[in-house]
Amino acid sequence: MKVAFITGITGQDGYYLAKLLLEKDYLVHGTVRRSSLINTFRIDTLISEYGDNQLKLHYSDLLDSASLNNLISEIMPDEIYNLAAQSHVSVSFKNPVYTTQVGTLGSIAILEAIRHHKKDIKFYQASSSEMYGGVNKEMLNEESPFDPKSPYAASKVFAHNMTSIYRESYGMFCVNGILFNHESPMRGETFVTRKITRAVGRIKLGIQSKLTLGNLEASRDWGFSGDYVEGMWRMLQHNKPDDFVLATSKSITVKEFAKLAFENQGLNYEDYVTTSERYFRPNEVDFLLGDYSKAKSDLGWEPKTDINKLVDMMVEEDLLLAKREKVLIDEGLLMPTWENPL
């Protein structure tokens, strides 16, 4: 049985990756940050299904290098997937120190632990399309230059470069997955796609009146997280370590995403969507479009879920959540905390 170690297992990608690896009969270890609130809700179904025999959680933090070192020494995994990060770009402008520390120190701590304990551990670093900056409307690949426009993107460039340095300097199996935007019903509710689909469900059920967004013209290459974690896994099964872009090679604007989401429920987004300067970034990335041809040729990977299917999946799940919320509101058991409630 192969052993995998996932940082950030409680996030969107952590859930889909853990699910994939468990289905492939891996023993999966993951890190959970200590908190006064239980924060494993995304993976609770996996915990129930697989139990402690195949899915093991450990309290740790990317800023605690000693803890990471001890865990890796104890587990001695075959594969490590570093997914943990403060991954909200807008938040990175408000919390640049924490964002940078988590994005840089954590990756170095893991790389050093691998170097000292077991060099043949395979390591996956979660890079991001935000590293490119999106200055020009061109298709971006593994050779395209980086031009980060946020503290989050800058921290990702650092971790990306350090991963390459350790691969080249010490002969370690280290890969960078440069993933373009990938969404799902497990996406955090402060991310724009999920903010839109949550609002659609609530507006349809009559418990929200308006949705406020930022730059509607920002264009992104949006895919499905469940497809992308398979690409991560394939990178570590490849015969040599390398860097790969995962994308759909199609880009649409936030406005177009909102239009599709509202149309799913027979609504016109223009009747409900407003914009506010407070949701604009200090340094906007206007356009991102990825070229996944290398992943297709070398890994046999390509996206399976198009944008229409992705939007439908997210809206349908969030409509179910809105129905549950409405029942609780009608019974006087829930006070709405979202914007513009009815």
Active site residues: 128, 130, 152
> What tokens appear for 305 in the block?
């879920």
Dig out the tokens for 51 from the structure. Answer: 């139990």
34-39 CB contacts, 8 Å cutoff, 24+ apart: 34/59, 34/61, 39/10
Q: How many whole angstroms separate alpha carbon 47 and alpha carbon 39? A: 13
